[in-house]
Amino acid sequence: MKNILLVFLVSILGTVTVQANEYPTETTVRYMLNCMADLGGQNDQNLYTCACRYDGIREAMTYSDYEEGITYERNKPMPGKKGAFFRDNQRGEGFYEVLLKVREEANKGCIVVKHVQRPPISEE
């Protein structure tokens, strides 16, 4: 009985560890839609490129770090005292700098592939 309980606990704890580092579905969908819009719209080529870039970001940053970088990016242009809270946040700025580097690497590694068609063969 103790062995069954031990196996059960190990499997649950292992599952929790994996799930703790996952990005939420909303974040994934939001990233994909914004990325495809930036590349010109929703099509297969942009979907593959954005999925590749997103995978690169997920491999390089934990969700917690990504979230801090995105929050800084989104709120630093805010005017006044509320914006100053984000602009003066060195921790957030550090995560934002890491995010920019990770994005740059992901963009280099995942080029936008356009559908290439062969020209028609002319019969002579």
Domain membership flag for residue 123: no
Domain membership flag for residue 82: yes
Domain membership flag for residue 122: no
Domain membership flag for residue 49: yes
Domain membership flag for residue 93: yes
Nearest Cα neighbor of 17 from 7, 28, 27, 9 is 9
Q: Which residues contact 30 (CB under 8 A, 6 or more apart)?
A: none
Domain membership flag for residue 103: yes
Instruction: Write out the two tokens for 7.
Output: 């196996």
pLDDT tens over the chain, length 124 residues: 544 444 444 454 444 444 556 899 999 999 999 999 999 999 999 999 999 999 999 999 999 999 999 999 998 888 888 778 777 888 888 999 999 999 999 999 998 776 656 677 877 6
Task: Print the domain residue range for 103.
Answer: 26-109
As a whole number of angstroms, the distance between CA 77 and CA 106 comes to 25
Domain membership flag for residue 64: yes
As a whole number of angstroms, the distance between CA 17 and CA 13 comes to 6
Q: Look at the chain and report how many structural domains it folds into.
A: 1
Nearest Cα neighbor of 95 from 72, 120, 122 is 72
Domain membership flag for residue 43: yes
